[in-house]
Amino acid sequence: MKASQLGFILAGVTTPEPPSHYSTFERWLAQGRHGTMDYLATERSRLRRADPREIMPECKSILVLATPYSPPSTGMQANEARVASYAWGADYHDVLPVRMKELVQFIEEQVGSSVRNRWYTDTGPILERDLAQRAGIGWIGKNTCLIHPRHGSYFLLSEILLDLDLEPDAPFITDHCGTCTRCIDACPTDCILTDRTIDATRCISYLTIELKEEIPVELRDKIGNWVFGCDICQMVCPWNRFAEEGDPAFGDDNPAEQLTEELSISAQEFNQRFKGTPVKRAKRRGYLRNVAVALGNTGDMHALPVLQNALNDEEPLLREHAQWAIEKINQHVGATHLDKTGKLHEQS
């Protein structure tokens, strides 16, 4: 199959009917769970998510595709910068559209005529996981990820809207999460809700990527050493024991970058290092904000010199989080030097 040759390990077809979980999406918005992602709540966006035909009136079928990325490393040290595993290599926003275009060309060759189409990968106003479930690719887990019983959840979704009648696949109606609550129990910020949605304002991925300003103080120590995204709820999911090595375009291992070294990179160095990767989206100010928080969470007094130096950076966002990290480390160092009587040891 052409889709498989292009790296799409799963493919399914569904109709352009309104998604069944749209009411859940509306409740989520009404509760403010989307945080600062205001683009999700515009009238135009909501109309399109409620009915794919608002995007493309000629749409007769939707082809849903899944591309795997490698599972995260498990041997990371606390002083190493942790990046979500989908972001280790090339930006999927650049890679997958090229493949979808080639797949559309193949479809047109098979039918002998041009086919009107639109494609998206995490960029369009559609409810991707809802369509993927309806196309038979998997079920929406308690952690809100789409899960396949053989491939787990480490894959990226793409959709092609087609002006072509294709036979739809049977929807995936079985819920294999059962009574398992590992993802809920493991989430450091308690962002996973009981209705299979998440409170984005508490999610580490949101805090380190989507949020552009200060990270709430009460959540900073829960971020650990994640500097871009988070994989925790997927790492503990039993279904990901079946996950295999992903598409080589997206990398196969988390670069073991030292947090102290990351904090000193210039704007030019940041742009050069992360050009063509998802991390570029955070921009230097957001990325180094995250690194400063991660350094504070190490409790390592050896990080103090680079944090002190960051206080002179021209970026106010970095300076504020560096100051928090310094205070956090000082508190940790002080606590670890208390003797049994509660008195602070003299340090040499």
Return the axis-axis angle of helices 316-336 and 283-298, rounded to nearest 10°.
10
Contact between 4 and 62 (Cβ < 8 Å): no
Return the axis-axis angle of helices 267-274 and 283-298, rounded to nearest 10°.
100
275/269 Cα distance (integer angstroms): 10
Cα end-to-end span (Å), the chain: 68
Which amino acid belongs to residue 44?
R
- Name the helix (H) or strand (E) containing 297: helix 283-298
Which amino acid belongs to residue 131?
L
Specify whether the backbone of 325 is left (phi greater than 0), alpha (psi in -120 to 50) or beta. Answer: alpha
- The residue annotated as part of the active site, out of 51, 122, 169, 313, is 122
Q: From the CB of residue 191, how many other CB atoms can be counted at a distance below 10 Å?
A: 25
| Residue whose tokens read 């090339």 | 90
CA angle 332, 338, 339 (to 5 degrees): 155
Contact between 229 and 205 (Cβ < 8 Å): yes
Give the dihedral of Cα atoms 7, 11, 16, 18; nearest 10 deg: -100
| 122 labelled catalytic | yes
72/120 Cα distance (integer angstroms): 25
Instruction: Give catalytic residue positions.
Output: 122
